[in-house]
Chains A and B, each alone.
Chain A
């Protein structure tokens, strides 16, 4: 299991203006500043930090941060 707090920080780091108060339940598209470049950056972050490749369809279908957290947790190589 990856560290939840660290994952949320890594997620927040992909925004130009870092959003505050993110939780796993936060709906991705409700976050101010969410854009396609942030989605690409989240995918690149998951690859770089966790060695997990997310597809664009998985990003598209993710509703809240937990959906991405869950995929990364399932795929991470221990």
Chain B
């Protein structure tokens, strides 16, 4: 059957695969024929995701992405990859006058440093195939900053910046690098954040003509970027805003 978005024959590594957008992307990518390498800190979450993947040969790694020895272990062990989704992330809602070095480091370690070091080891081990696709999880919050989201916005702006460096440096090997910038997506992570009240959720949602996004909406954007249908796209930021900026 004709399907330019097929992931048949492609191996795709996804960080943060135990929940939210990473989980949805892993499951949907497997349905399109992809072989998944699922990575997460949460063993229980991953053990629930793995049986939901269609097809065979999927792998999983449990560990902390901020631990370089874990990233080396992944780079040593994984088969050559056609796609990498750098999806794991943390949020933070600290007003600027309460920002501390510790808070900056926590957010930047996970959102920026871990994906960079992971890709370094994958590239050194030549584990990213020619024509592969790197997909970075950024956020619309990098451009439209809400109160309290300064550190998070800075980390996602940095993601957009370094994403373009990979696009530039790897284009000779036809490896593409793009980021996805969604506005509000109601994931398990966001729903458990203490800093958004039920009333604020309702108020926020009224600003989105297409409603809040779901993890599936972002998963489909990532799948497009993994697929050969996007072979001519690199160095781009895909904005997803549910019509809230119309």
Q: How far is the CA of A41 from the CA of B101 in the complex (A)?
A: 18
Interface string of B91-104 (1 = CB under 8 A from A): 00111011000000
Say which residue of B95, B198, B199 sits within 8 Å of A41 (CB atoms). B95
User: Could you say which residues of chain A place their CB within 8 Å of the CB of B148?
Assistant: 37, 40
With A36-B147, A37-B148, A45-B98 as contacts: A60 and B93 at CB distance below 8 Å: no
List the B side residues contacting A47 at CB < 8 Å: 98
In the assembled complex, B194 has its CB within 8 A of some CB on chain A = yes
Tell me how many residues of A have a C-beta within 8 Å of chain B. 16
CB neighbours of A37 from chain B (8 A): 95, 147-148
Dominant SS among interface residues on chain A: helix
Q: Of B147, B198, B199, which is within 8 A of A40 by CB? A: B147
> Is there contact, CB below 8 Å, between B196 and A48?
no
CB distance from B186 to the nearest CB of A (A): 15
Decide if B94 touches A56 in the complex (CB within 8 Å): no
Q: Is A64 an interface residue (CB 8 A)?
A: no
A41 pairs with B197, CB closer than 8 A: no
**12 further A-B pairs in the complex, CB-CB below 8 A; given A37-B95, A55-B195:** A36-B147, A41-B95, A41-B97, A41-B98, A45-B98, A47-B98, A56-B194, A56-B195, A56-B200, A57-B198, A60-B198, A60-B199
B residues bordering A, Cβ < 8 Å?
93-95, 97-98, 147-148, 194-200
6 A-B contact pairs sorted by A residue (CB < 8 Å): A40-B95, A44-B94, A55-B195, A57-B197, A60-B199, A60-B200
The 5 closest A-B pairs by CB, nearest first: A56-B197, A44-B98, A60-B197, A55-B194, A37-B147
